[in-house]
Amino acid sequence: MTSLSRDTLSALPATIVRPGHDPAAIRTGVVHFGPGAFHRAHQAAVFDRVLDQDPRWGIAAVSLRSGTTTDALKRQDGLYTLAVIDREPSMRIIAAHSDTVGPGEGARLRALLADPAVRIATSTVTEKGYCLRSDGSLDFDHKDIAHDLARPAEPASVIGWIVTGLAARHAAGAAPFAMLCCDNMTGNGGKLRAACAAFARELDPALAGWIEAEVAFPDSMVDSITPASDAAFLAKVRHELGVSDEAAVQRESFTQWVLQRFDMADGPDLAAAGVTLTDDVRGYEQAKLRILNGAHSSLAYIGLARGLETVFEAMSDPALEHFVSRLMHYDIAASLKPVEGLDVAGYADAVLDRFRNPEIRHLLSQIAWDGSQKLPYRLLDTVQDALDAGRSVERLAVPVAAWMAFVRRKAQAGETITDPLADTLAQAATGSDVATAMLALRQVFPERLATDPRFRHAVVEALVAFLDGDIEPLLAR
């Protein structure tokens, strides 16, 4: 079948939204590392809107490991379909990519990073792609970092390539590009700056000092559910377009990009394209962690106890939906400090609406993974804030007890517990006093919280209800 391209663009059905700019006229102003589905559904869609008004911000898509995506984009003149899956689905052609760089094209990448027209570099390579230790510092023992320091002319890592590009700018006396990390790591900009400076310091202390003083590494937060582009989805796109599209992506209608303000004269108007610019990215991160992720975990553990399978099914349970709504609006929202530009109640309502999307099949069992690692940040910090403020923790204790009951069911059934503490959890959850044994796990519950009589009482009371199979009164709280 014929592929999507500039030549076939005009023949697409009228229902497919075309770019608001000429794809052949855009120029490269952004280099992006990691052109996976999330980038194509998220950052590229933002720059596509910017390009409708300003042709300077085309993206060069860079893949250091696999050429599958860059090859597909090259064959399709950088075009692909973004399908928004919601109650009112839509398809839009994205024309944000002006160039592609695949594995083995180091000379072209080097030239792009040194080009003064490139003002911004972005990245979505997952947290492990930055070669960091657990404390967020650069892992000098990582094989790619060791390789790049030994052979700096042939980088293998994203860190190595960023520093290579900045070194060329520094040597030429040119302005640096701004580096925007778009992976979900707390304080991602600061961590990336520190990692790049640490790497550069091994090669040239003056370069490291320049990176720390002159290069913008703004923090950011991104959010949008982006399901995989499986064969069924690609077939649907083929049917709708009448041409093949190997790079098509899909996401929910909700999308969020929160970016720390940074100085860039005559830069792209990201705010007009929907990006939230703020001095408090951390506040937005905390709101997402507690409201969205905290509610997700609550739906998962309580929903599984009620025999439900997906987030949509959980939100279709009136008692559970009402409980989670009150938990978000009254308990979690109360724990958040005011953040400029963030309407907490509106954000909570938007999250609830996302959970009601019938087109997103988000499994509760998957959300339930790694509870020992997630609960401290998603729920327990909120519990401690409520206790410190003298507020009730009765509702907040319910999902905590639901997690304990979930672990007990798994352990008693001999089923796999997907959690780094699986064996420890199984042992604690199968004893005669589950609540005491679980609350004694200091890897999960800090002593100050675990020994607070208000919290202990609320958890024990809720856990008894879960173990007895009588949780309707809990959901009416």
| pLDDT class of 473 with cuts at 50, 70, 90 | very high
Tokens read off for 159? 């860190």
pLDDT higher than threshold 90 for residue 330: yes
In angstroms, the CA 58 to CA 24 distance is 10
| Per-residue DSSP letter, 55 | T
| Residue 390 pLDDT | 98
| Residue 246 pLDDT | 97
Mean pLDDT over residues 218-237, rounded?
Answer: 96
Q: Do the domains spanning 6-279 and 282-475 agree at the CATH topology level?
A: no
Share of the chain above pLDDT 70, in %: 100
| pLDDT class of 29 with cuts at 50, 70, 90 | very high
Cβ proximity of 173 and 184 under 8 Å: no
CATH code at 282-475: 1.10.1040.10
| Residue 101 pLDDT | 98
pLDDT digits 0-9 by tens, 144-168:
999 999 999 999 999 999 999 999 9
Could you give the 3-state DSSP secondary structure of residue 456?
helix
| pLDDT class of 357 with cuts at 50, 70, 90 | very high
- What does the domain layout of the chain look like in residue ranges? 6-279, 282-475
| Per-residue DSSP letter, 420 | T
Count of residues in the chain: 477
pLDDT digits 0-9 by tens, 43-86:
999 999 999 999 999 999 999 999 999 999 999 999 999 999 99
Tokens 């517990």 appear where? 417
Mean pLDDT over residues 302-328, rounded?
Answer: 98
Mean pLDDT over residues 229-233, rounded?
Answer: 95
In angstroms, the CA 280 to CA 87 distance is 33
| Residue 219 pLDDT | 98
pLDDT higher than threshold 90 for residue 225: yes
pLDDT higher than threshold 90 for residue 267: yes
Could you give the 3-state DSSP secondary structure of residue 220?
strand
Tell me the pLDDT of the chain averaged across its residues: 97
pLDDT higher than threshold 90 for residue 1: no
| Per-residue DSSP letter, 226 | -
pLDDT higher than threshold 90 for residue 87: no
| Residue 134 pLDDT | 86
In angstroms, the CA 229 to CA 224 distance is 15
| Residue 193 pLDDT | 98
CB atoms within 10 A of CB 78: 26
| Residue 269 pLDDT | 98
Mean pLDDT over residues 263-272, rounded?
Answer: 96
Q: Which of 355, 356, 331, 357 is nearest to 344 (CA)?
A: 331
pLDDT digits 0-9 by tens, 416-460:
999 999 999 999 999 999 999 999 999 999 999 999 999 999 999
Mean pLDDT over residues 318-341, rounded?
Answer: 97
Query: What is the second-level CATH architecture of the domain 6-279?
Result: 3-Layer(aba) Sandwich (3.40)
Share of the chain above pLDDT 90, in %: 98
Mean pLDDT over residues 193-205, rounded?
Answer: 98
| Residue 110 pLDDT | 98
